[in-house]
Structures are given as C-alpha cells and as structure tokens.
Amino acid sequence: MHHSDDAPARCAYCSQNAVGPCASCAASVCGDCCTLTEGGVHTWAVCLDCDRKKGHSLGGAWAGLVLFLVKILAVLALAVALLGWLASR
C-alpha cells in the first residue's frame, strides 16, 4: 500500500486528522486530544499526556529560559572582571 506525502497527519492518540504538534513533545495532536497553553504570548496546544505530566502552562519554560540567559550573563561578567583585573596588574 502506497502512502501519499500529501495525506494529512493523524493524531498520535486517536485516528482523527492532526491539527498540529504538541508544544512540549511535538507529537501530532487533534483538537480533542490537546489543551491550550497559558502564560505565553501565543496560544499553543499541549497533548493530554504532557498536560498530565507537566501541566499546560509554559511559565516554567519561560523561567528556565530567563535563568539560562542570566547564567550566560553572569559568566560573561565574571570573564570581563577577570580580564580587567589581569590587565590592571
């Protein structure tokens, strides 16, 4: 049996046509097998499994991104301070 590339994607949890990927795990989901996110600029779909495991808020993901950026800035600040101290010796 030959499958066409133009065929719509199927939901990972039921046999309906998928409307898009889960924002957390990227599984294809339909409108009935997902919940909508909270805490972001855009609304994203989260599959029911990820919703049960992690919740449907992206606030934790945003906090993780901000913490990651703060760590990078702290390392850069330490490097600049170290280079300034070495240059003044």
Question: When comparing pLDDT for 73 and 55, which is higher?
Answer: 73
Beta carbons of 16 and 30 less than 8 angstroms apart: yes
Q: Per-residue pLDDT tens for 11-63?
A: 988 989 998 888 888 889 998 998 887 766 778 888 888 888 876 666 677 78
Q: At which residue do the structure tokens 């101290």 appear?
A: 85
Q: pTM of the prediction?
A: 0.51
Q: Tell me the β-bridge partners of 10.
A: 17
**Pairing mode of beta strands 28-29, 45-47:** unpaired
Residue 85 has pLDDT above 50, yes or no: yes
Q: What is the mean pLDDT of residues 67-85?
A: 97
Query: What is the structure's pLDDT at 1?
Result: 43
Q: At which residue do the structure tokens 């909270």 appear?
A: 38
